[in-house]
Structure 1
Amino acid sequence: MADDPVEPQPQQRAWSNPRLTFRRLFGLDRSGPPPPQTLSGAPWNVWTIPNAIGFVRLALLVPMLVLGLSSDDGTDALPAILFAVVAWSDYADGIAARVTGQYSRFGALLDPIVDRLLVICGVVICWKFETLPRWGIAILIARELYLLVAGRLALRRGIELKINWWGRWGVWPTMSAIFFAMAGLDTVAHVLFYVGLALSLMAAVVYTRDALSATRAAPSS
């Protein structure tokens, strides 16, 4: 797909690829502005190594969901392994982007979509076999729908919210809870699920606070 050249924004001109330390390679150090290739208005640049990993992750969701739903009790080994592969390979595409410098707007959008679809597929399996509490799953789904609607409204007002650390830390307990539930380890799954749910709700509160602050600070038209 060909895109027209985009005039770089001021923050794009000032950006330079930071030194690749261990912490930055594995996403522990996220200081500094995002790569200009990932910002709104940048070319899609679909065909990159990180995006190829993202496409493989996306394709693995189908057999994982089919195998999980067709199991006897939702705790078969193969769908649990596929879930873990898709979850952990999230690091792989990030590392590939940092090593190769192949950042892209498409990849910045694809990665969180795959992560959310992974959680949705896992939640569907856990809901069917009630391997995690359905009331908690319902709250988690309501939270995702709220952020989806609120995020759209924020974008229409020209407000782009950044991922906060509550949200970052809430992802892995939630994903780990789904994995352990699919693996049949109920106690570990439940403990991690409650931790992830609490962090996710706190993230939603912070997103709401930031959106309201940005709305008040925005100049009136």
Structure 2
Amino acid sequence: MSDDETPAWRNPQLTLRRFSGLDRSGPPPPATLAGAPLNPWTIPNAIGLVRACGIPIFLYLSFTSGDGTDLTAAIIFALVAWGDQLDGMAARVTGQYSRLGAMLDPILDRVLIVSGVIVCFNYDLLLRWALAILVARELFMLAVGPVAVKRGVDLKINWPGRWSVWPLMMGIGFGLIDLRTLGSIGLLLGVALSLWATALYAVDARRQLADDTGSGDASPRAPSSST
């Protein structure tokens, strides 16, 4: 192999920590990077499609329940939320990584959380002020994220962003079955982690822009999904 050749990427050894998603060391799979083919026909993407179909069913059952605490709707919400972990495990076991999956997963997580927030806010199941902060944060990321990427900022997901998803999902899930105290605890923890993640994104973006200004490099980077 010549000096300018790049060795082929290999799927890392599947340890328990990597299988569960706790170990995310190493470079991302090339198939998930910007510019790679979407490659929709994979097992993880099939799981993602089922998750996507579950969200409107959850909303329908919730808004026809009368009080937002339909048990079937809550179970569907929990299954769609857990499906995020399932499709990640499927990708790591099968090696079927794809650009579509890398884009689809964070979108589905956000849509599910926002759907749960809408139900909980409408039926006053959780603290409305905390739900409003969460929505404001999501709108901020949706508005600022694309602008930052266009300016060459690489928004890499951080650990507070990863950690925030599960307390938010659990908090909303508890709210949907009228366990409001547990739901509020999960919601507040998730909101705090989300705001922490947002602050870290801002610091990292400012550093990257300062580095680019100092080096005169204004070339855009490949965007990464963020939470």
Deviation at 1:186, TM superposition (A): 0.9
Native 8 Å contact 1:50 1:107 kept in 2? yes
Aligned residue identity for 1:178? I
Within 2, Cα distance between the matches of 1:72 and 1:13?
Answer: 58
Aligned residue identity for 1:98? R
Query: For the structure 1 residues 189 and 50, does the alpha-carbon distance in structure 2 shift closer, same or farther, using more than 3 Å as the test?
Result: same
Choose the corresponding residue for 1:189, options 183, 188, 191. 183
- 2:196 corresponds to: 202
- Tell me the secondary structure at the aligned position of residue 59 of structure 2: helix
Deviation at 1:12, TM superposition (A): 7.3
Query: For the structure 1 residues 196 and 11, does the alpha-carbon distance in structure 2 shift closer, same or farther, using more than 3 Å as the test?
Result: farther
Within 2, Cα distance between the matches of 1:193 and 1:118?
Answer: 14
- Using the aligned pairs only, state the percent identity: 53
Query: For the structure 1 residues 140 and 214, does the alpha-carbon distance in structure 2 shift closer, same or farther, using more than 3 Å as the test?
Result: same
Query: For the structure 1 residues 200 and 189, does the alpha-carbon distance in structure 2 shift closer, same or farther, using more than 3 Å as the test?
Result: same
- 1:16 corresponds to: 10
Within 1, Cα distance between the matches of 2:8 and 2:96?
Answer: 18
- 1:164 corresponds to: 158
Within 2, Cα distance between the matches of 1:18 and 1:150?
Answer: 34
- Tell me the secondary structure at the aligned position of residue 52 of structure 2: helix
For residues 60-139 of structure 1, what are the structure 2 equivalents within 5 Å? 60-139=54-133
Within 2, Cα distance between the matches of 1:13 and 1:134?
Answer: 52
Within 1, Cα distance between the matches of 2:204 and 2:38?
Answer: 28
- Tell me the secondary structure at the aligned position of residue 30 of structure 1: coil
Aligned residue identity for 1:124? I
Q: Which has the higher contact order (CA 8 A, sep 6+)?
A: 2
Deviation at 1:13, TM superposition (A): 4.3
Deviation at 1:15, TM superposition (A): 2.9
Within 1, Cα distance between the matches of 2:33 and 2:5?
Answer: 10
Aligned residue identity for 1:191? I
The one-character-per-residue Cα deviations of 1:172-202 (angstroms, maximum 9, x if unpaired) are 1111000000011111001111111111111
Within 2, Cα distance between the matches of 1:51 and 1:156?
Answer: 27
- 2:221 corresponds to: none
Native 8 Å contact 1:12 1:36 kept in 2? no
Deviates more, 1:153-162 or 1:102-111: 153-162
Deviation at 1:111, TM superposition (A): 0.8
The one-character-per-residue Cα deviations of 1:106-146 (angstroms, maximum 9, x if unpaired) are 01001111111110111110011011111111111110111
Within 2, Cα distance between the matches of 1:44 and 1:152?
Answer: 20
Within 1, Cα distance between the matches of 2:6 and 2:183?
Answer: 43
Aligned residue identity for 1:122? G
Query: For the structure 1 residues 66 and 11, does the alpha-carbon distance in structure 2 shift closer, same or farther, using more than 3 Å as the test?
Result: farther
- 1:155 corresponds to: 149
